[in-house]
Amino acid sequence: MKKLLALLVLAGLANVAAAADLVGDPKAAEKNIAQCIGCHGIAGYKASYPEVYSVPMIGGQSAKYIESALKAYRKGDRKHPSMRGIAGSLSDQDMADLAAYYSQKK
């Protein structure tokens, strides 16, 4: 039992280390930007679901902030239903790629 527990702990640590080593690739993000640009690419855009919400521009935000926000939506710490659904469809690598892409935009 102790060996199994130790193996599970080590596996968890390996996953954390692998996630920490992700490097975003702006070119790879191009396969996912279509689901972002419809709201975040329109200056002054307001979404009306589930309530009127001013959509922030994300171009130029720090990559770390974007990645953190996406993970918070996926986890449910941030509550916007559309963003939670989108974030839930993204892998950690997808999030890192999108963060790298949008951090380079103005």
What is the reported pLDDT for 76?
97
Domain ranges of the chain: 23-103
Strand-strand pairing, 53-54 and 46-47: antiparallel
Is 70 exceeded by the pLDDT of residue 11?
no
**Whole-structure pTM value:** 0.77
pLDDT tens digits for 69-100? 999 999 999 999 999 999 999 999 999 999 99
pLDDT tens digits for 39-73? 999 999 998 877 888 999 999 999 999 999 999 99
CATH superfamily to which 23-103 belongs = Cytochrome c-like domain (1.10.760.10)
